[in-house]
Amino acid sequence: MLADFATLPLQFDTPLAGELSLLGRILFGATLAFMGLNHFADLETMAGYGEFKGLPAPRFSVIASGAVLALGGLAVAAGAFPVLAAGSLAFFLLVSAVTMHDFWSMDDPEEKQNEMTGFLKNVYGAGAALALLAVGGTAWPYAVGVGLF
């Protein structure tokens, strides 16, 4: 039988586990934060793309999604509000994968490939965010350590 997951401790006491956890959080979080900043730097182009995709209030949607990515990414990297940050990122990435990267509706092979790449990027990012969400209620090494839960 499998052990009850509630009884299994999250172990960061193996060699370099804390450092690798921090490095993984920085790589994941900083990449998402950078993507969020790009929403602000290229606001008009992204709002136009959002309008093309049928987003309601495309300019506001780009600003809001940029804020989720930037703040969520920085929070994950710092280890601050991990449940809120990882949960928000997972939700956003899954929703935007389906709404913004609908490769299945593309006819042009190049467009289809670009949208599939964006879709898969969002799906694997959501997977990483869900993994972090699963351990969000535990103490992370080298983390700010503030949170709601």
**Confidence at residue 37, expressed as pLDDT on a 0 to 100 scale:** 98
Residue 101 and residue 116: Cα distance in Å, rounded? Answer: 7
Tens digit of each residue's pLDDT (9 = 90 or more) over 92-144: 999 999 999 999 999 999 999 999 999 999 999 999 999 999 999 888 999 99
Tens digit of each residue's pLDDT (9 = 90 or more) over 47-64: 999 999 999 999 999 999
Tens digit of each residue's pLDDT (9 = 90 or more) over 135-148: 998 889 999 988 87
